[in-house]
Structure 1
Amino acid sequence: MRILMVMPYRQFLGQARAEGFSTVALWDPALESPGYLREVAAGAEAYLTTDFGDTAGLRRVVAETAAKHRVERIVHLGREETMLPVAEEAERLGLAANPSRAVARLNDKSLLRRLLAEHGLSPVEVRRFDTSDQVRSALGELTLPVVAKPTALAGSRGVRLISGPADLAAWERSLAGYGYRGPVLVEEYLRGPEYSVETLSAEGRHQLVGITAKEVTAPPTFVETAHTHPAPLPAADERAMAELVTRMLDAAGHRFGPVHTEVVLTGAGPRVVESQTRLGGGRIPLLVQLSRGYDLERAVFAALAGRLEPAGPARGVARIEFFDFRPGTVVSVSGVEQAGALPFVHELSVPFEPGGQVPVTVDAKTRHGHVVVTAPDVGAAVERCAQVRQLIRLETR
């Protein structure tokens, strides 16, 4: 079967081939480096580019490419911002692996809240506003603190706890920095530990891959600082989260592909924070592979062929921690090679050189690199990450 993959990450092409698919790749050259896209082109049977910001043009290119290359399925496994128009065009052509309505319901935070309320799932107090200006006008009516978030941004962008006017002003500035002027949600502040639930679906059947424990920065922002897979959870809590997410997927009409769902385990039970029809970020697929021996990325293409491969039990723990260096101009970096040589380190990224700039971390894109380790248990994984941090020295001024 020949498939058109919109925004395929380079590793996806080999994994699709391994499952018997021939691939046509479509990318926006403004979104990745030329070197990266050369690797994408080398792995695909055909490679095309277009401007993803031009929605009508993107849909036209998808339709023309599907006809020219006799594509049998169209899939989009990249960033969710352009998933919906591609899913709608694929549906119009009769080549969709997943209904466009399911993509919209899961990816759009406002539509997801409405869906959950309609089905009596994950009750959360929420109000929708067309613009952030309306939030300012209604601030006196809200029971503070609340969490404010744009409906169409991901990666912790624009998510902030608002306890008063100063927080509101800072949130408005962050939205302006992202150029965001769309609808926003104001939700009750859910208290409890955070998790992400990874699922994979084929032909409307859903499989729990695993649950990851998440650590985030203290309010008012909620930037993820560490992930541990599998999460150390009582069986009853794991079942409750898996049941909630599965019922959500059924309600949305989701039929194919990975879904990454963020959940807070409150005193009243699990509550959905948000969901996306894609693989989890923050190297979660790597954590799954290291701890379970399960290649989640390749399993996506087995699911496209109609097969759900079980993830199996974990054989240990995998953990990622994101570095938090002092912002400023880099003076020196040391200890990276020594840390990377440790036998339990599987991936290490410190993307700074002398003269470069370490930014203030405000979202997933401005984090300062990371380390991925394996260990027999959570305590050992935390200790091993600490050992790596002690070895790396990054001085700024």
Structure 2
Amino acid sequence: MANLVMVMPYQAYIRKAQAEGFRITALWDPAEARRLFGAQAPEYLRQVEALADGFRLVAFADQAAYTEAIRSAAREADHVWHVGSEESMLLAHDVADELGKAVNSPRSVALLNDKLAMRTLLRDKGISAVRFATADHWTGVADLLAGFELPVVVKPAALSASRGVLLLTDPAQLPAWGRELAGYAGPVLVEEYLRGPEFSVETLTVRGEHHVVGVTRKLLGPLPHFVERGHLFGEPETPETRQVAALAVELLDAVGYRCGPAHTEVVLTAAGPRIVESQARLGGDKIPDLIALARGFDVKRAMFAALAGRTSLPAPGGSVAHIAYFSFPAGTLRRVSGLDAVRALDFVHALHFPFAPGDVLPETVSSKTRHGHVILAGCADAAEAQARADRVRALIEVEVR
């Protein structure tokens, strides 16, 4: 049985890794758990500790302590792997590389996760040309706008979950955007605005060979924030989606990615597909659950099979699965109805509405401020999935103050 140190493994990851023959030592940061799971974080970590073969807590922001925790945990390990949040990922890969236990090179992970590094690599290699400029701080963006036609996309180079990504139509928006980036001290990007349908490509890499699990259609919510209103997995294979998938594979080749999952976002413009960004992990927003519903394929377990050198891929065909997010008016919730009627629908796989009367519904400006979701299974195609989502939204009535 191989020994694997994993940084911030979710509970499902531990079970899947053990099923593929790995012994798991889990490293978690209580602060990161609170960010992800809120008040349930202590119980979540207790369950992680019960599942894992070894367990350690460390503050990821304390680089010296984080480094030492990995080194100590990895003494008897065969591999060190981090496929969680990007913010703490690179240091784990750096330490793993020093120990000779890295699954991927730190360079390949940095090129995928860091938006500026990826954009620079693509420009230098002549892949997926997108005009961009960079500033060390958001206050430098105004000086770059003369080289672009508005609107443009502005975004931090190293934040995840759509945080700080904005369609800038007027320089007067910059001060408010700067306040949204409070606490972020890294570089920011100005990019040309890519117009067209948006997709993500879900891949698994085994021994340097990249396999496309499928293409997800992304449904964006209202601009200027690029927060998805939903995802549809089971996009049919067409010449266009083949182009989209091929571009994602070209990126993975370019960065030298060797093993594991990747999630690459692509816009299909009138001039062809263009990469938006990529991450060295599974897609978020429950895309792995959509894959399981639409294809009967356990991509979470398959990524550990990939680590063991085994290739596992879904069979062709299947249905369409859809996650649709809710976005109600912001304010204090006074009343909600229709939730039981939604749960009674035979095509509803799961419903999540984590608010009760008296709670505040925030403005939706990132994936963390959405108002819940519904997951729909067994849809014949995207049109049926979206019609069912519309039916669900019509059933739920909220009253806010």
Scaled by the length of structure 2, what TM-score is found?
0.95
Deviations 1:248-274 (A, max 9, x none): 111101001111111000011100000
What are structure 2's unaligned runs of at least 5 residues? Answer: 34-40
Which secondary structure does the structure 1 equivalent of 2:141 belong to? helix
Alignment of 1:110 onto 2:116: yes
Structure 2 equivalent of residue 57 of structure 1:
65
Q: Per-residue deviation at 1:312?
A: 2.1
CA distance, structure 1, for counterparts of residue 160 and residue 278 of structure 2: 10
Which secondary structure does the structure 1 equivalent of 2:393 belong to? helix
Structure 2 equivalent of residue 341 of structure 1:
344
Deviations 1:9-44 (A, max 9, x none): 111111011101111101001222101111111110
Structure 1 equivalent of residue 210 of structure 2:
206
Runs of 4+ in 1 over 4 A off after TM superposition: none
CA distance, structure 2, for counterparts of residue 180 and residue 52 of structure 1: 16
Which secondary structure does the structure 2 equivalent of 1:144 belong to? coil
- Worse-superposed segment, 363-372 or 328-337: 328-337
Alignment of 1:161-180 (within 5 A): 161-176=167-182, 179-180=183-184
In 2, are the aligned partners of 1:285 and 1:295 still within 8 Å (CA)?
yes
CA distance, structure 2, for counterparts of residue 30 and residue 188 of structure 1: 35
CA distance, structure 2, for counterparts of residue 126 and residue 358 of structure 1: 35
Corresponding residue to 1:197 among 195, 201, 215: 201
CA distance, structure 2, for counterparts of residue 226 and residue 279 of structure 1: 17
Identity of aligned residues (%): 49
Corresponding residue to 1:218 among 219, 222, 233: 222
Structure 2 equivalent of residue 20 of structure 1:
21
Scaled by the length of structure 1, what TM-score is found?
0.96
Q: Per-residue deviation at 1:170?
A: 2.6
Which secondary structure does the structure 2 equivalent of 1:248 belong to? helix
In 1, are the aligned partners of 2:148 and 2:192 still within 8 Å (CA)?
no
What are structure 1's unaligned runs of at least 5 residues? Answer: none
For 1:339, give the aligned amino acid: V
In 2, are the aligned partners of 1:208 and 1:242 still within 8 Å (CA)?
yes
CA distance, structure 1, for counterparts of residue 265 and residue 175 of structure 2: 26
For 2:255, give the aligned amino acid: A
Structure 2 equivalent of residue 188 of structure 1:
192
Alignment of 1:83 onto 2:89: yes
CA distance, structure 1, for counterparts of residue 245 and residue 145 of structure 2: 35
For 1:101, give the aligned amino acid: R
Q: Per-residue deviation at 1:366?
A: 0.3
Structure 2 equivalent of residue 127 of structure 1:
133
Structure 2 equivalent of residue 3 of structure 1:
4
Which secondary structure does the structure 2 equivalent of 1:57 belong to? helix
CA distance, structure 1, for counterparts of residue 398 and residue 12 of structure 2: 31
Structure 1 equivalent of residue 315 of structure 2:
312
CA distance, structure 2, for counterparts of residue 187 and residue 25 of structure 1: 38
CA distance, structure 1, for counterparts of residue 319 and residue 169 of structure 2: 40
CA distance, structure 2, for counterparts of residue 39 and residue 332 of structure 1: 34
CA distance, structure 1, for counterparts of residue 287 and residue 317 of structure 2: 14
In 2, are the aligned partners of 1:6 and 1:26 still within 8 Å (CA)?
yes
Alignment of 1:248 onto 2:251: yes
CA distance, structure 2, for counterparts of residue 160 and residue 139 of structure 1: 14
Alignment of 1:262 onto 2:265: yes
CA distance, structure 1, for counterparts of residue 145 and residue 66 of structure 2: 39
For 1:369, give the aligned amino acid: G
In 1, are the aligned partners of 2:78 and 2:101 still within 8 Å (CA)?
yes
CA distance, structure 2, for counterparts of residue 368 and residue 104 of structure 1: 32
Q: Per-residue deviation at 1:167?
A: 2.3
- Quick one: structure 1 residues 120 and 141, their matched pair in 2 at CA, closer, same or farther if it must change by over 3 Å? closer
Which secondary structure does the structure 2 equivalent of 1:30 belong to? helix
In 1, are the aligned partners of 2:116 and 2:189 still within 8 Å (CA)?
yes
Q: Per-residue deviation at 1:238?
A: 1.7
Q: Per-residue deviation at 1:174?
A: 1.5
Q: Per-residue deviation at 1:136?
A: 2.0
Which secondary structure does the structure 2 equivalent of 1:31 belong to? helix
- Worse-superposed segment, 99-108 or 310-319: 310-319
Which secondary structure does the structure 2 equivalent of 1:197 belong to? strand
For 1:237, give the aligned amino acid: E
CA distance, structure 2, for counterparts of residue 157 and residue 364 of structure 1: 8
In 1, are the aligned partners of 2:234 and 2:318 still within 8 Å (CA)?
no
For 1:126, give the aligned amino acid: F
Structure 2 equivalent of residue 391 of structure 1:
395
Deviations 1:219-270 (A, max 9, x none): 321111011112246x211221121111111110100111111100001110
Alignment of 1:298 onto 2:313: no
In 1, are the aligned partners of 2:133 and 2:144 still within 8 Å (CA)?
no
Structure 2 equivalent of residue 323 of structure 1:
326
